[in-house]
């Protein structure tokens, strides 16, 4: 994992992200072609920044397709053939007419991951099909996802029955632990200091679910009794600052970075700042009706900040 220090949010863009290589017009073209390719096969889908979601619950990531179009050497006008071949291969693995809820047993464990998600992203009628889903706080949830090539699909209760929820959860946690980030960036400017870990995998943010392991890998220490300020602005990154000396600057930086990165990154997840402590997550920030960011009153967190900085949490505004 590469490590570097930067002085601004914009400097983080020095490393290419999954959609940086194409222009906005080219990205719109890929998304449109992908949706049309599925429609030609009788599959209706909604377009998101870096994936398509079908009415039957399947998710088709666009990361690999974007890369194929970019490296094909073909002009944009001929990308429809790249897209057609891409979806032919994907749908050979998941043929039309197959129950999207059925995952082959021999693939389930090897390709199952825990996935961090915001609860509002689930369908309105999700409860009957996702009773196993865990709420970890602050509107964030943990579910299980199966990855095959460029397609990721959330697993439902019936998918878990042959193996058991707890068994697959342990497998999913182990698979997320094994995901290798590409870089560790320290954002530092004056008193503002926090860490960003990111990579090509869409399961980097899910490392919030195994945060002590990530902290040990990055900072050499698993245990932070007073917790960690954390942000998960996209699926491809997680940002954090342990509660301790300098946490006022860390809070201010993460608060701003969460909103900025969620608006600028592929795979947006959450624009909010959170406080992780002993596996429990508390949302610290929100947006008011005026669109401006605010911090929720949180006496416990404020007391910790004031212990390390006499200006207190109000100094972060």
pLDDT in tens, 117-158: 998 877 666 677 889 999 999 999 999 998 876 677 788 888
In this prediction, residue 12 has a pLDDT band, given cuts at 50, 70 and 90, of confident
pLDDT at 53: 83
What pLDDT score was predicted for residue 13?
A: 64
Q: How many CA atoms lie within 13 A of 94 on its CB side?
A: 25
**Token reading at 140:** 């964030």
- CA–chain centroid gap for 198, Å, is 10
Q: What is the pLDDT of residue 100?
A: 46
Residue whose token pair is 């082959």: 104
Contact 313, 302 (CB under 8 A): yes
Stretch (H or E) spanning 30: helix 24-40
pLDDT value, residue 120 = 83
What is the per-residue pLDDT across 14-24, written as a single tens digit (0 to 9) for each? 554 554 567 88
Residue-wise pLDDT for 266-278, tens only, equals 778 999 999 999 9
**Residue 217, pLDDT above cutoff 50:** yes
- Work out the average pLDDT over 34-58: 85
Largest pairwise CA distance in the chain = 63
CB 305 within 8 A of CB 311: no
- Indicate the helix (H) or strand (E) that contains 274: strand 273-277
- The answer to whether 223 touches 242, Cβ cutoff 8 Å, is no
User: How do residues 283-293 score in pLDDT, each as one tens digit?
Assistant: 999 999 988 89
pLDDT at position 274: 98
Residue 137: per-residue pLDDT: 94
* Residues paired with 134 in a beta bridge: 142
DSSP 234: B
* Nearest partner of 304 among 222, 240, 230, 243, judged by Cα: 243
Across all residues in the chain, what is the average pLDDT? Answer: 86
**Dihedral angle of Cα 138, 143, 148, 152, to the nearest 10 degrees:** -50
**SS3 for 201?**
coil
Of the pLDDT bands very low, low, confident and very high (cuts 50, 70, 90), residue 41 is confident
Q: Say whether pLDDT at 98 is over 50.
A: no
């Amino acid at each position: 994992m590469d490590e570097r220090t930067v002085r601004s949010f914009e400097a983080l863009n020095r490393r290419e992200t999954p959609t940086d290589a194409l222009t906005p017009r080219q990205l719109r073209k890929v998304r449109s072609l992908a949706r049309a390719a599925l429609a030609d096969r009788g599959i209706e889908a909604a377009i998101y920044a870096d994936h398509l979601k079908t009415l039957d619950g399947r998710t088709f990531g666009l990361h690999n397709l974007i890369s194929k179009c970019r490296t094909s050497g073909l002009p944009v006008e001929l990308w429809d053939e790249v897209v057609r071949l891409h979806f032919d291969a994907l749908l050979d693995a998941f043929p039309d007419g197959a129950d999207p809820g059925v995952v082959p047993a021999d693939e389930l464990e090897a390709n199952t991951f825990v996935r961090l998600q915001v609860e509002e992203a689930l369908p309105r009628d999700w409860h009957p099909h996702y009773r196993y889903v865990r709420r970890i706080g602050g509107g964030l949830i943990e579910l299980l996802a199966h990855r095959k090539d460029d397609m990721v699909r959330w697993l439902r209760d019936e998918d878990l029955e042959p193996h058991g929820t707890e068994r697959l959860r342990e497998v999913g946690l182990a698979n997320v632990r094994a995901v290798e980030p590409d870089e560790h960036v320290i954002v530092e400017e004056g008193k503002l200091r926090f860490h960003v870990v990111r990579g090509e995998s869409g399961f980097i943010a899910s490392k919030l679910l195994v945060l002590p392991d990530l902290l040990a890998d990055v900072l050499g220490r698993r245990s932070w009794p007073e917790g960690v300020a954390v942000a998960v602005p996209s699926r491809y990154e997680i940002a954090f600052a342990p509660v301790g000396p300098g946490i006022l600057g860390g809070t201010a930086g993460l608060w701003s970075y969460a909103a900025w990165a969620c608006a600028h990154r592929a795979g947006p997840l959450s624009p909010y700042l959170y406080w992780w402590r002993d596996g429990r997550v508390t949302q610290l920030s929100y947006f008011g009706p005026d669109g401006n960011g605010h911090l929720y009153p949180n006496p416990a967190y404020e007391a910790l900040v004031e212990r390390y900085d006499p200006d207190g949490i109000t100094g972060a505004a």
